[in-house]
Structure formats: C-alpha cells, structure tokens
Amino acid sequence: MDMKPLDRVLADDGLPLASDLRETVERWLRAMASGRGASDHTLAAYERDARQFLDWLKGDLSHAPCLADLRHVNAKRVRAFLASRRRQGVGSRTLARSLSALRTFFRWLEREEILRNRALLQVASPKVPHGIPKPLPVDKAAAVTVPQQPGEDWVAARDAAVLLLLYGSGLRISEALGITRREAPMTGVEVLRITGKGDKERMVPVLPITQEAVSRYVALCPFPLEPDDALFRGAKGGPLSPRIIQLEMQRLREALGLPETATPHALRHSFATHLLSSGADLRQIQELLGHASLSTTQVYTQVDRDRLLAVYDKAHPRA
C-alpha cells in the first residue's frame, strides 16, 4: 500500500498528536502491511479506526494524546467512545470492526513491549446480525456475464472477461484485478492459482467461455502487456480500478432491471449458491472460495434452504 505518513493524514484532519504516539501508530500500520500482509483495504480501515478513536480521545482529554494516555485508557472510556459513535448513527458492524482494529493495535503494543493495557478485552463487541448473501438468479447471472460480441471494443471485452471470472471462478474483484499477464487464463488454461486473503493460495477452475473471453480481451487490448504487469487495464493503460467494474454493474442493473444488491461481489455469492444448488459439497465450495473456516461457507446453506429441505424430504427414511 502506498500510504502517506500518518502524521500527514492526521494533520489533514486537524488532529495533533504527541510525537511518540504519532510515530507508534505509523509503525503499527507499517507492521500490519509488512508482517501480516494486510490488504490496502484493511490498512485503510485500520488507519481510519485509529484516527477516529484518537480524535475522540483528544476531545475527551482536552489535549493531544500521547502514549502515556493510552496506558490509562480504561473500559469505561472505550465504551464512551463507542457510544459517541453510536449517537452519530454508526451501525453495529462498523463499531465491531473499530473495536477489533483497536484490539489489534493494543495487542501489537503489548507484543512490542511498548505498553500493556488489556482494557479493551473487557468491552464486549456489539452484536452483529449475520447477513445472508444475496445471489442473482441463474438466468440473471447468465445475462450479466454475456461474452463480448463481435465488433465490440476492447473495453467491452475486458469487462466481460472480468465479470466471467467473478461468476465463473468465484473470485473476489481484487483477486481478478490482481491477475498478471503471465497468469492470464487464456484458451487452454483450465486452472488458475489465486492468492487470496491472508496469503492463502487456492486453485480455481476456469470455464472455457471465460478462457475465450480473456483471450479475446488480450487480443484487443491496445496496451503492451508485460508478463508481470496487471492483466486488466484502465482506459489510460494503468491497472484497472475496481470502481470501473462497479460502474459497469450499475449500468447492467439499470439495463436488466436488477436489484441494488447486484454488485460485483454478488457474482461470487451467485457462484457459491448455484454450485450448492447443483449438489456441490460444502467443503469443495469452501476450497474454491478460499474461506479459512467452513462456518463462513455455511452461510450459503441459508440461501439454499429450499433445496436442502427437498433433499431431506427425499432422502430421510421417515420423511
């Protein structure tokens, strides 16, 4: 992640910190980037959560906080911070994420022998309702992932290839856009090696229709594609931004009358749900999605409840 120094970020927000705390928070973020391999998105969230807490703490203390102030943060003060965020309309999921980020920070402080304060362990995380994935119906997913038609330009070919990777291989958008030219799943490449969250590697199948779409895009792309460069390019030749694919999905929602839940990530949900509906084993789906825990994958059984009940009725001796 190309992070600007945290002191400049905080200065942008008018939040002065004592130099020892400013340097420590920046060290923490860099440690998360290098040691744990946190994604750009995760690092940005850590940075934002730390900034919000320190901003609140500055107001509560009436002075720029320093490391010594963190040593004396107690559970009551943490709860007051969460309550203030709640009054601003922040939901439980965001509050839980903020608390998790702060716990990560304080655990790192203890591990680095900078200070020891376990007050955050006394604060219960807000209860977060389990969201159920909202996949597209099979026919709608097929309509979204139509291969580029003859005569269409390279941008249409690119978008079609990316969407087919999301639905056909169950990739996250960051994973699809992280593919290099060397790794391009072109015609004849039936399996793709993906490094997902937590640097977890997995092998995913690539449908023939996806292979053809990628080959078509590569043939039409007007920019030189070096082996280690990003496969998918933006209009000016740089790596393709996820925002462009999100805007393409927005266009397709309007054109096809799809719900607001029809996002690039919904294609990954559709991949998992449609496999489950067709009889795929939950463990296999876990491997294909790159989930560390089976419990994460089990959420798709709630989406496909009707099929599971039908299997039960058919298979159980007393049904």
Q: What does the pLDDT look like over 35-70, one tens digit per residue?
A: 666 667 788 888 899 999 999 999 999 999 999 999
Is residue 53 domain-shared with residue 202, that is, in the same domain?
no
Is residue 108 domain-shared with residue 161, that is, in the same domain?
no
Please say if the pLDDT value at position 274 is more than 80.
yes
Catalytic residue among 27, 197, 253, 307: 197
Q: Over pLDDT 90: what percentage of the chain?
A: 57
Q: What is the CATH number of the domain that holds 65?
A: 1.10.150.130
The count of structural domains within the chain is 2
Q: What is the CATH number of the domain that holds 184?
A: 1.10.443.10
- pLDDT value of position 293: 80
Q: Is residue 129 part of a domain?
A: no
Is residue 177 domain-shared with residue 225, that is, in the same domain?
yes
172 noted as active-site residue: yes
274 noted as active-site residue: no
Split at pLDDT 50, 70, 90, the class of 279 is: confident
What Cα–Cα distance (Å) separates residue 255 from each residue in 39, 59, 144, 152, 258? 33, 49, 10, 17, 8
103 vs 300 pLDDT, higher one: 103
268 noted as active-site residue: yes
Q: Is residue 152 part of a domain?
A: yes
316 noted as active-site residue: no
Structural domain containing residue 161: 138-314
Catalytic residue among 27, 103, 265, 307: 265
307 noted as active-site residue: no
Q: Is residue 1 part of a domain?
A: no
Catalytic residue among 51, 85, 158, 172: 172
Catalytic residue among 216, 268, 269, 274: 268
- pLDDT value of position 129: 65
269 noted as active-site residue: no
